[in-house]
Structure 1
Amino acid sequence: MTRTTGGSPKARIVGAELRRAREEHDVGVRELARRLGMDHSKLSRCESGKTAASPEFVASVLAALGVPEAERERVIELARGADRTNWLSPGLPSADHELTTLIEFEKTASEITEVSPFVISGLLQTSNYARAVMTSGTESPGDLETRVTLRVGRRDVLTRKKGPRFTFLVMETALRTKIGGPVVMADQLRQVVTMSEWPSVTVRVIPADLNIWHPALHGSYILFEFPKADPIVHLEQYASAVFLHEREQTDAYRSATDTLRGLAMSPDDSVKLIAEVAEEMENMT
């Protein structure tokens, strides 16, 4: 029925789906456990992702809640392989399922560190910048706007009273890449400056003139750290996303993050540079 995972990425997302379905149907944990003929603590462990729910178990839970068949099948399919430590999520990085996965980790993390060589973090993006990043030419305008709204809405987690602390380590290259054009980019950089003043947000720039090879040159990643669960690392690739959970791997990214903190400019100097680049963009128009 279930298997202990220690909170693997996919098990946590399946658990979140089960919890969301239960809450949407206004059923308590104990009542649902009674319907299933099981101890409520087992159900709680599945909802937290500490125990991976099998597809069969997911099917029984959702059936007991009266979830429609199409939605049941979606979550059942998601549950396949939930006991694996790491998770390769197929589909383009802008896909809805990956955004909702990131939102779940952002909601439950105590600290988030994002490293980006080329793009401004999704948590800090303006609508116009997000639209420029996410446009592929294959989606309908309605689908694109839905994804833009979902991405921009992610920043709300940074204003929650017990929300995560967010550190953005960005290469100077990303500041000077005019995604969407100078006007869009200038507005985006001004927003980064504004959001850097939020108590939960720290922005630090990795200078472009470093004469050494450093971890950010290997690509972007997000390190999620949780109060009661092991860290998760998210890697965004062109046609898929990877969520890493094995201790050896997450420790390597923690070490890489420490290295980049040592190379990055101070928060004050970083914000000053970002404002200067924004002014340069504005003068191009």
Structure 2
Amino acid sequence: MALRTTISERQRRLGAELRKLREQAGLTVSEAGGLIGMGRVHLTHVEAARTAIPTPRLRALCESYGCTSATYVDALVCLSEDKGKGWWSAYKGKLPASALDLAELEAKADALASYESLFIPGIFQTEDYTTSIFRADDEVNTPEAIETAVGFRMARQGILTGERPPEVHAVIHEAALHMRFGGAAVMRKQLLRLIELSELPNVTIQVLPFAAEGVSTLSTPFLVLSSHGRALQTVLLETPAESLFLHDAEPITKYRKQFDRLRAAALPPIDAKVSPATHETRDSLGLIQYVLYTL
């Protein structure tokens, strides 16, 4: 039995879900493996994502664990049978594995909920804005590396207008509108891009103003991805050291509640069809237009 030398987030997620189901059923690895004619070592490798599991055995294992949600079991089968190939495969070996994992997750997502405090979300960025960010990056430090990183980020934006575009809801802190990445002209183009993207039926963009009440000013950026009929959810936290993919119930609930607080405190979404002058209160479009005026 050949074991994987490289493990993707999708494969890691399947193993984690199976381990969680087994533990909830109160079974040891040996007991669970015996239910489907699989040895303890083999099932240990499956849960560690070091090897695959055939679909009939996967379904039998879920049934043995008492899992009754057909939607959830089908989601696990999709994780197992998916080959993990896509446009991002061309970047293998050129970018960190976590970047490819994110692109694969986004491609399968039904919904994205993001909060950014200092940057415009990656899938909303213009090419010039992205380039200015990577030029200041210590890790991406050659023209070739910058070109690759920028091209990858631009390719990720294809999900916004694809055949099955996910629902995207972004809350962006006002501070991100004032950060001068690339200078005033680049920022002006970037802010206009936000207004343009808000016209897509699947995109909602809100700005969290400096004056917002009831939310922590120290809220860290995060992304919540829902996939497979929203049966699976993942929270992504990006740090200078690593990207963390969380999928346990507790952190997902925590960040879901945090996002609800942020969007409730944020200004009403950008609506380019309605003039800010007709609104009785401030809205996201009005604030963006004000920042544009001051650039």
Give the deviation of 1:266 after TM superposition: 0.5
2:125 counterpart residue number: 125
Q: 2:237 aligns with which of 220, 235, 238?
A: 235
Q: Cα 1:152–1:207, aligned 2, differ >3 Å: closer, same or farther?
A: same
Give the deviation of 1:255 after TM superposition: 0.7
Give the deviation of 1:142 after TM superposition: 1.1
TM-score (norm 1): 0.67
Partners of 1:279 and 1:103 in 2: CA distance: 35
Q: Are positions 1:272 and 2:273 aligned together? A: no
Partners of 2:198 and 2:222 in 1: CA distance: 20
Matched residue SS, 2:232:
coil
Give the deviation of 1:50 after TM superposition: 5.2
Q: Cα 1:250–1:272, aligned 2, differ >3 Å: closer, same or farther?
A: same
Q: Cα 1:13–1:143, aligned 2, differ >3 Å: closer, same or farther?
A: farther
Identity of aligned residues (%): 29
Partners of 1:224 and 1:196 in 2: CA distance: 19
Partners of 1:175 and 1:39 in 2: CA distance: 49
Matched residue type, 1:168: A
Partners of 1:145 and 1:193 in 2: CA distance: 26
1:48 counterpart residue number: 78
Partners of 1:50 and 1:254 in 2: CA distance: 26
Give the deviation of 1:230 after TM superposition: 2.0
- Partners of 2:111 and 2:166 within 8 A in 1: yes
Give the deviation of 1:99 after TM superposition: 2.2
Q: Cα 1:96–1:39, aligned 2, differ >3 Å: closer, same or farther?
A: closer
Root mean square deviation of aligned Cα: 3.3
Partners of 1:259 and 1:157 in 2: CA distance: 26
Matched residue type, 2:284: S
Give the deviation of 1:217 after TM superposition: 2.5
1:251 counterpart residue number: 253
Q: 1:167 aligns with which of 163, 166, 169?
A: 169
Q: Cα 1:175–1:45, aligned 2, differ >3 Å: closer, same or farther?
A: closer
1:112 counterpart residue number: 112
What are the ranges of 5 or more consecutive residues in structure 2 without an aligned counterpart? 3-7, 16-52, 59-73, 84-88, 272-282
1:217 counterpart residue number: 218
- Partners of 1:186 and 1:279 within 8 A in 2: no
Q: 1:150 aligns with which of 146, 149, 152?
A: 152
Partners of 1:188 and 1:228 in 2: CA distance: 31
| Aligned residue-pair number | 216
Give the deviation of 1:229 after TM superposition: 3.1
- Partners of 1:171 and 1:206 within 8 A in 2: yes
